[in-house]
Chains A and B, each alone.
Chain A
Amino acid sequence: MINGFPDQVDLYSPNTAEESLHKLLYGLVKFINILRRQGTRVSVSETRDALDALSQVDILDREQVKVALSATLVKNYHDRNTFNKAFDDFFSTSEIKMQGPELTGEGYAGEGTRPEQAGDGPAPANKDAERDWGKEFLDHARQAVEQNEKLSIKPGWTKRQKKQFIETISRMRGDSGSPGTSAPLARKAEKSLDLWHEEVKKQVEQSGVASPQNFNSSIKEKLSDTYASLVSGPGARSDDESILFADMKKISDKDLPRVILLIKKLSRRLATRISRRYYRKRRRGRLDIRRTIRKNISFGGALIDLKYQSKKEQKPRLVLICDVSGSMARYAVFVIQFIYGLSSVVKGIESFIFSEDLERVTSHFKKGDSFVKTMSSLVEKSNQWGLGTNLHASLDTFLEKHHRLLSPSVFVIIVSDAQTIQAYQTTSDLKEIRSRVKDIIWLNTMPRADWQWALEINEFQKYCRMFECSTLDQLSNVLGNQVLTV
């Protein structure tokens, strides 16, 4: 948020330059809030960059405005679709809806943009009118600046903020760009806000909220809801991204081919990363006397360039213990597939499934069959799919029959919702395993918010690092950040 920026602006009286300029900023900040609500991280400095960028482009060109905001606010591939949807909603849809005669009053005279033209910038015939409108608007702004340098500057703004604000206004009024640059954007933002304000006002009135204070707080909530609904509809994310962020349990069968490809892509990306990390060159280990002397002979024996032993980085070894009980079977398919995708670079992944007891399934993956065939033979031959959960019995079996797999370079990955009987005994098993491996990573499909109600989870967490993992994105991140980068 920009310091000193008002919480609420009276949207119904855009009479002064100060208010109009506020609305431009307010509209931008509101737009950024929409992005933030959708998970796009936008910092204050990026907000300032966006303002600066707007002052550098032709604001009558909608595409340029979009590119300017996109380049400065959205810096993640996955956020691009969210941005596009939010932008189109914020700067277009409302405008289309605004074409009603009741809102075409003073200040908007001479518009008449046809709905099909909205969103593509003003119609050519209206460009002059818009520029006139903009010129008038900016003349007011210039007069205000000249008369009073305190234009829109709130007590508490730093000298730099004031300077930056005035410079921005100066650029916007056309000192270094085309004349009348900022007005249409300000107006578009204004119109969008006006529309929402109107809609929300109606809703609030219908719900019987009367006092101004209540109205203001309600309006904030309602606006937020409206923004959220604007960008949460279909199309906010691409198909791949929908799958990436969807709860794995809810992925439908028809999406499975795409999921398989996506998992392949994600696991390949992680695999590329790990395959490159052979040496940690920058970590200094012990001095390598032999190489140091050899290197420094040319300096007359003075030890100037020291050489250190470089430690060969061990690729992690993974032991996967995956819950395939009734509640977990769906997740298990995806997790096993992901691990399977990594097997090209992470040597000797040992895979186990469990519900009431443990079964080793590594051999199924070594046949070289396609994943689909492997999984179907695995499900067919296993006795564990879809039963109840007893992690204690399963870990006991593991410790009894497969304890040789445990070593200080091994990561044990447990995938389970932690809903098991004999939780107390399970904690002891975890403690035993933890003492013999590098780490235990627990991928919990239960939402993190619910962990507080499951007391056994607190106990388990003493001996493992637990991560919420119900989507492919979470799965990819946990494996990438917690396992493959150590």
Chain B
Amino acid sequence: MKLEDVTVDGLYRSFEEEGYICEKNLVVTVFLALKLGKPLLVEGAPGVGKTEIGKVLSRVFKAELIRLQCYEGLDENKALYEWNYQKQLLKIQLQKEGIGSEMAERDLFSAEYLLERPLLKAIRTEEPVVLLIDEVDKVEEEFEAFLFELLSDFQVSIPELGTLTARQIPVVVLTSNRERDISDGLKRRCVYLFIDYPSVEKEVRILEVKAPEAGEKLSREVARAVNLIRANDGIGKKPAISESIDWARALVALGAASLNQESVRQTLNIVLKNKEDIDTVIREVGVKVLAAGAQKT
């Protein structure tokens, strides 16, 4: 699919074809971000499919995915560009030895000695790309401010080279787990999408696509049980969609035809990853209720 030909229905179909099951509203928001040429800021709990949107878009548009994984302490040198000091030094040494050709100082700060990091690469490449800036809530506010210029004008300033403008406008997806609030300035430049945990029906569809071996019945039981677990606010880390999928696969591996008390006990650690949460669910929901809730028709 080409970016200029994108329609809501076409995008929805493409997402489904790529195995990304979602409501149409989500696709409309993605469509708007593409049409308005604005970055898409996706927020939501861990494991609801935020990062996957970037990956799916790159497959839909057959564009290269350039990913910038954010972390505390990420700075321009790691995200945008760095000078290739070794190469510059080597050139100077060669010059001293009289081996290299004549050169001026400015030649040392030319594109030849520039190491492109993900952000620069995304705007300098000729081909369409999808730029995924993952977990942007982990960077410091100073770096966020630096992103402003890039995301509003799609250009960056490099002191030695001047302003570099994008050769094409990349599709930009930013994700955030809401560990801290993103600044208003950055939000203002984006189209906003919040993804919640899926409904039972939606999760059943996801399981049917991602773990078809589980079958409709087991998928539904897993989806219901996970839904019950997520409804409990007392647990620290609610199960992600990938953990539901793992749970369904684990049950299949154990040969369990349905989610009963025994299979819940055996496999609860697949879907809950710390003891405190497992204890909480057993205490406050109960294995019996979980199994019964899963099989409720």
Contact = CB atoms under 8 A, between A and B. Distances in A.
A75 B85 contact: no
A273 B191 contact: no
B283 interface: no
B167 interface: no
Given A56-B31, A64-B8, A300-B93, A80 B36 contact: no
B188 A67 contact: no
Contact of B32 (A57, A77, A272, A480): A57
Interface stretch (A40-48, A224-232, A412-420): A40-48
A80 B194 contact: yes
B29 A71 contact: yes
A421 interface: no
A281 B73 contact: yes
Contacts of A279: 73
Interface in A213-240: none
Interface string A119-155: 0000000000000000000000000000000000000
A56 B89 contact: no
Interface stretch (B176-184, B202-210, B240-248): B176-184
Contacts of B191: 49, 53, 71-72
Interface in A463-478: none
Interface string A45-79: 11001001100111000011001101110111100
B192 A74 contact: yes
A290 interface: no
A57 B8 contact: yes
Given A56-B31, A56-B35, A299-B86, A45 B72 contact: no
Nearest to A66: B25
Nearest to B71: A276
A67 B192 contact: no
A39 to B, nearest CB: 13
Interface string B116-143: 0000000000000000000000101010
Contacts, number: 90
B140 A282 contact: yes
B188 A43 contact: yes
- How many chain A residues sit at the interface, stated as a range, is 35 or more
A347 interface: no
Contacts of B194: 77, 80
A45 B184 CA distance: 12
A163 interface: no
B50 interface: no
B85 A56 contact: no
Contact of A269 (B31, B75, B179, B184): B179
B178 A75 contact: no
B221 interface: no
Given A46-B188, A57-B32, A276-B72, A261 B234 contact: yes
A64 B31 CA distance: 11
Interface string A229-259: 0000000000000000000000000000010
Nearest to A65: B28
B139 to A, nearest CB: 10
Contact of B72 (A63, A281, A298): A281
Contacts of A45: 188
A68 B32 contact: yes
A265 B140 CA distance: 22
Interface in A298-339: 298-300, 302, 304-305
Given A52-B36, A72-B32, A75-B187, A265 B233 contact: yes
A139 to B, nearest CB: 25
A279 B71 CA distance: 12
A272 B86 contact: no
Contact of B193 (A71, A276, A480): A71
Given A49-B38, A273-B179, A63 B32 contact: no
A277 interface: yes
Interface string B68-79: 000011010000
B36 A268 contact: no
B29 A67 contact: yes
B10 interface: no
B36 A49 contact: yes
B172 interface: no
Contact of A71 (B184, B188, B192): B192
Interface of B: 8, 24-25, 28-29, 31-33, 35-36, 38, 41, 43, 72-73, 75, 85-86, 89, 93, 138, 140, 142, 178-181, 184, 187-188, 190-194, 233-234, 236
25 contacts: A41-B184, A49-B191, A53-B191, A56-B32, A56-B36, A57-B8, A57-B31, A63-B28, A68-B28, A68-B32, A71-B33, A72-B36, A72-B191, A75-B192, A77-B178, A77-B194, A80-B194, A258-B233, A261-B234, A281-B72, A282-B75, A282-B140, A299-B85, A302-B89, A305-B85
Interface of A: 41, 43, 45-46, 49, 52-53, 56-58, 63-64, 67-68, 70-72, 74-77, 80, 258, 261, 264-265, 268-269, 272-273, 276-277, 279, 281-282, 298-300, 302, 304-305, 480
Given A72-B191, A276-B138, 16 more contacts: A45-B188, A49-B38, A49-B191, A63-B25, A63-B28, A71-B33, A71-B191, A72-B36, A77-B178, A258-B233, A264-B234, A272-B179, A273-B180, A282-B73, A302-B89, A305-B85
